[in-house]
Amino acid sequence: MMTRRIVLLVAVLLLALLPVLNALPSSNPLHVSDFLVSIIGKWICYAILALALDLAWGYAGILSLGHGAFFALGGYAIGMHLMRLIGPRGVYGHPVLPDFMVFLGYRELPWFWLGFDWFPFAFLMALVVPGLLALVVGYLAFRSRITGVYLSIITQALTYALMLAFFRNDMGFGGNNGFTDFKELLGLPLNSGTTRAILFYAALVSLVVVFLLCSALTRTKYGRVLTAIRDAESRVRFLGYSVTQHKLFVFVLSAMIAGLAGALYVPLVGIINPGEFSPGNSIEAVVWVAFGGRGTLVGAVLGAFSVNALKTWLTSVAPDLWLIALGCLFVAVPLLLPKGLVGLVRRRKGKA
Amino acid sequence: MMEPEALATMPHAISTQGLYLDGVTVAFDGFRALNNLSLIVEPGELRAVIGPNGAGKTTMMDCITGKTRPGSGIVKFGDRDLTRMDEASIANLGVGRKFQKPTVFDALTVFENLELALKAPRNPIACIRWVLRGEARARIEKTMQEIGLTARAHDLAGLLSHGQKQWLEIGMLLMQDPQLLLVDEPVAGMTDHETEQTAALLTGIAGERSVVVVEHDLEFVKALNSRVTVLHEGSVLSEGSITHVQNDPRVVEVYLGR
């Protein structure tokens, strides 16, 4: 237990060191590239998404194949704020309307864009909108006792439907192109190294906070109720627990964490478009959690980092192989690593 | 529907309510699993229900616990109409059920299994804020002693033997402080010694609470020394003491004499 904490602490400290090393002059042998810092910043956001998914799937048995939708909605909320902040610096120079609205002939800001110029509101929406969507979808599904593969299919359809909707220009979210060309956030210019370091630290701190929160939650009686629901749902019902209520609670919480991950991700990468809703993204997130080890929080984070590292490496050396590799992981993990990397480590320890 | 946790915090007077089934019929695709079944279990009574396979024993339990809605008939516990309530509300009303196949939570310890079953507010926030206090701990420890699993308190339930899982499940029912216990084939797969211990456990529980035991094992039913109801093709064939039903020619024909 103690050594595990030390390992985690060292890992966080090493990550925290990256922007510092990045600030060193490039002649210094310890210097790390902008590319590495930005890509690891992305992985940190993915790790938060993996924690969200693990909470719902690994602990409560809700296999969502649509968590990418909550992530993308969080990203869109912050993206709307970033678009508002561009102001007259856009190509068309309109004082209020973002470029795409001018291009599409909007006269004034649609009502659902109001308030997004204020950061606290936009940040709140990045959590509330995914939470509300999860509340509605979850309520309908859990109340009707839709579980297992049927629930997975519904969540997959949800993210696909949202992708198609966001592709439409008349949705008012920039259609195909989404949002990009952001200028600043909270008064900080997005193209400066300092801002990138701050965003990196914001993501890292969020990861640590979400990890500690999930870890505390899973150790309460509520966490044990979730485990019980995962393993024998109807038995929990006969104990007098409202399974609908408990599943809904964890599903909404999980969606909000996914929204947070998306909100941290968009300023880091500088773009959000409907591609983020694509069903493949949600499935990739499931592969991270499965590969790392579902039902353990460390596993979810480890899986997000390792699968994405593999993806980055493969897409640079042999781009055609990535989808095949992902497919292989999808098949091989349940067969060879049913408990993921964490299970493998535990098994090794058990033998030694 | 009443909030489950509101019900959970309501104090129960012990054994003032009986179980009342009248004219209950359940049909699946034309097959009548229960056919005009009527049954009264007095408060505090221990009742054994026997009958050949397909007699409707499990369907009867499903009707009482809200898993199946009868096509017609009355199912009442005290003055509450059970046909209009869902499983969680019925459980919180004080009706506990032990399934044929023991379903304990394998990934949790014996102690944690009992803790989940312990009567306490059941909503997510209350579960997050739940702190195990001395009184609750004492109740869990008392129950572990009753079911003989004190030594296994911190072992995962998945590691228990079949008989021990059955006891753990009975213990989980007791933690809910039920007024009516429905016990489905408690001694299936148990050794003779375990069967004796289970009979003693159940007779000890009755009195304070009503207990309905569904069982195949006649030696066990004799050991319970209670009123016996024989089901056949979805309705009551015979009812009375074990000697009475054993000598009833209809019972001999359909069940005992096969």
Taking contacts as CB-CB distances below 8 angstroms, the residues of chain B near A254 are none
Please name the residue ranges forming H helices in A232-320: 233-238, 243-269, 279-292, 297-317
Q: Which residues lie below 8 Å from residue B239, measured CB to CB, with a gap of 6+?
A: B227, B228, B229, B230, B245
A contact set with B (CB within 8 A): 217, 220-222, 224-225, 227-228, 230-232, 234-243, 245-246, 249-250
B95-98 and B180-184 beta bridge pairing? parallel
CA of residue A236 relative to chain centroid, distance: 30
Closest chain B CA to residue A213? B128
Count, in order, helices (H) and strands (E) of chain A: 14, 4
Q: What average pLDDT score do residues A169-179 get?
A: 86
Domain CATH code at residue B187: 3.40.50.300
pLDDT at A343 over 90: no
B130-144 exposure pattern, b = at least 16 Cβ within 10 A, e = fewer: beeeeebeebbeebb
End-to-end CA separation in angstroms for chain A: 17
pLDDT of B9 reads 40
pLDDT at A217 over 50: yes
The pLDDT tens digits for B90-111 are: 888 888 888 777 788 999 999 9
| Sequence ranges of the domains in chain A | 35-276
pLDDT of A70 reads 96
User: Which of the four pLDDT bands, split at 50, 70 and 90, describes residue A1?
Assistant: low
Amino acid occupying residue A300: A
Is B124 in contact with A238 (Cβ distance < 8 A)? no
Percent of chain A with pLDDT over 70: 99
Domain count, chain B: 1
Å between B152 CA and nearest CA of chain A? 18
User: Which of the four pLDDT bands, split at 50, 70 and 90, describes residue A224?
Assistant: very high
Asked if the C-beta of B103 comes within 8 angstroms of chain A's C-beta atoms, the answer is yes
Residue ranges making up the domain that contains B32: 4-256
User: Which of the four pLDDT bands, split at 50, 70 and 90, describes residue A43?
Assistant: very high
User: Which of the four pLDDT bands, split at 50, 70 and 90, describes residue A75?
Assistant: very high
pLDDT of B1 reads 40
Q: Give the nearest partner residue to A222 out of B96, B124, B176, using CB atoms.
A: B124
Taking contacts as CB-CB distances below 8 angstroms, the residues of chain B near A240 are 4, 7-8, 88, 91-92, 122, 176
Taking contacts as CB-CB distances below 8 angstroms, the residues of chain A near B112 are 224
pLDDT at A247 over 90: yes
Residue reference for tokens 């402080």: B177
Is A239 in contact with B176 (Cβ distance < 8 A)? yes
Q: Which residues of chain B have pLDDT under 50?
A: 1-15
Is B108 in contact with A240 (Cβ distance < 8 A)? no
Q: Give the nearest partner residue to B124 out of A224, A235, A245, using CB atoms.
A: A245
User: Which of the four pLDDT bands, split at 50, 70 and 90, describes residue A266?
Assistant: very high
Closest chain B CA to residue A242? B88
pLDDT of A350 reads 64
Q: Give the nearest partner residue to A217 out of B88, B117, B128, using CB atoms.
A: B128
The pLDDT tens digits for B188-238 are: 888 888 888 888 888 888 888 899 999 877 888 888 888 999 988 888 988
Q: Give the nearest partner residue to B105 out of A227, A237, A242, using CB atoms.
A: A227
Q: Is B186 in contact with B166 (CB distance < 8 Å)? A: yes
Extract the runs of DSSP E, i.e. beta strands, from chain B: 19-28, 31-41, 46-50, 72-77, 80-81, 95-98, 180-184, 210-214, 227-232, 235-240
A-B Cβ pairs (cutoff 8 Å, strict): 75
Closest chain A CA to residue B127? A222
Rank A95-104, A125-134, B182-191 by mean pLDDT and report only the highest: A125-134
β-pair partners for A180: A271
Residue B114 corresponds to which tokens in the numbers above? 């009992």
